[in-house]
Chain A
């Protein structure tokens, strides 16, 4: 029997880094694959200034609470988020870190850590705002919960932007996907 999927993702970073969008896209891609999904934004005042985060469940079973206390994946886009969430990562969890914004990464036994300078890579592509999409690509390849195709196609629904920006974001997702072996 296959192991039951119960993926619990926390996406975290500064407000403005597209943290909510990143979570929504993961949830959409998971839903398309037939999983039970939920997405929950962080609340209110926290959205400004401090860390923003969104919580995403992708599961074989009905989701109990859409909140996450012990994540299986943390996508960390800035330094304060690293301190706030990674300590709670489960064993054999996945940590994706944006090293452009985080200098020192604490070692945690049994956690798989993928480090990339996401903001710098995005800047090289021509738009720092696509750092979140590179992270989505990294997650997609690392976890293989849903195919890359889902993410690229759902992006068009989630992101209501003009074609050139959609194309840029797709390029970022593909770049992230290629970063993982």
Chain B
């Protein structure tokens, strides 16, 4: 019997094989989630089922809503009442949730929304896709707002990012999104799920429901011992909305400063840089290894926060003649942000698959070579 030589072995029992959807749900539970409302849609059904089970374990609330509109509004209510709340769906369902997301942003309410993307437009299909990038990062709902969007690329990150996004949502008081795809949702990978340690480390933020409510002084819990709280998004008085928009912009500027995340892989001396997020970035990474083997100086730039987008970090990799190959499971959406960062359209190329197609390593390598030459 040969021995595995790749990764460091971890003690048995710490790593478990679970789907990305379940990992996401577990991350939420570890963050202290106490309210989940959802509506069935493939490919995120494992998440809804998982929450149905886990909310029973932790004494939280699970509701299968009558629609995505209702689900996000229930989440709105739960977060109004001061607890950590989440909803999840896939592309067509996320379109319906845009109403609620806009209201959450306008009312400065923290909530986590999970989108396990599938092919579109319309009903599309149930295969993995990355075609909701615009919707997630450019404001799918109405009005001047943004939300932090993190794109995991493994089941482990589905757990870690979801857990952390609850803190981010609370910190900046607004909706945030986990943007995954059908592969990340339905695949199984080893995930370190250490409930005990995660709670110990995070005790500061792991207060009980009641405590959490008292820390959220804006929450509606009945006006005992204080003036009534009002949560609203209607701002009719002259100048009132503009002042609020300015307040939001200040908050978004702060987020742009603090919450940018990205990963670089073999970018030193790279002449061609593959830019990809989520599932595509995994394939991009393997493509870089293969290109390097062929003697081509390739690297990978992986945006992790899709909003705020890491424009500056990407720009830093541009040596003036560097080529960039954006790889997406879409017709070219993040591509526009890459162009904004590089400001030279002629050196930003694109390879994408749509409708459930997944870019292959071979195709990416072929594309990269053709642009390199």
Contact = CB atoms under 8 A, between A and B. Distances in A.
Complex: A in contact with B (CB within 8 Å): yes
A177 interface: no
Given A31-B190, A146-B1, A36 B7 contact: yes
Given A24-B17, A43-B126, A59-B6, A64 B12 contact: no
B43 interface: yes
23 contacts: A31-B17, A33-B3, A33-B4, A40-B183, A40-B187, A43-B42, A43-B126, A43-B127, A44-B43, A45-B126, A60-B5, A61-B6, A62-B6, A62-B285, A64-B282, A64-B285, A65-B282, A65-B286, A65-B360, A65-B361, A66-B183, A66-B189, A145-B2
B232 interface: no
B15 A31 contact: yes
Interface in A46-76: 59-67, 69
A67 B2 contact: no
Contacts of A32: 12
Given A43-B127, A44-B126, A62-B285, A2 B2 contact: yes
Nearest to B18: A39
Given A24-B188, A34-B9, A43-B126, 11 more contacts: A2-B5, A34-B4, A36-B6, A38-B188, A40-B186, A44-B42, A44-B126, A62-B285, A64-B287, A65-B360, A146-B1
Contact of B43 (A43, A45, A67, A147): A43
A32 B10 CA distance: 9
A67 B360 CA distance: 9
A104 interface: no
A34 B1 contact: no
Contacts of A69: 360
Nearest to A55: B187
B2 A5 contact: yes
B283 interface: yes
A94 interface: no
Contacts of B5: 2, 4, 60
A66 B286 CA distance: 12
Given A43-B43, A69-B360, A147-B1, A35 B6 contact: yes
A63 to B, nearest CB: 7
A64 B182 contact: no
Given A43-B127, A66-B183, A67-B358, A37 B6 contact: no
B17 A5 contact: no
Contacts of A147: 1
A138 to B, nearest CB: 17
B140 to A, nearest CB: 25
A34 B7 contact: yes
Contacts, number: 88
Contacts of B162: none
B187 A39 contact: yes
Nearest to A58: B4
Contact of A64 (B7, B9, B361): B361
B52 interface: no
A3 B74 CA distance: 54
Contacts of B188: 24, 27, 38-40
A31 B285 CA distance: 22
Contacts of A45: 126
A35 B282 contact: no
A160 interface: no
B73 interface: no
B339 to A, nearest CB: 26
B283 A65 contact: yes
Contacts of B187: 38-40, 66
B279 interface: yes
Contacts of A67: 183, 358
A64 B183 contact: no
Nearest to A1: B5
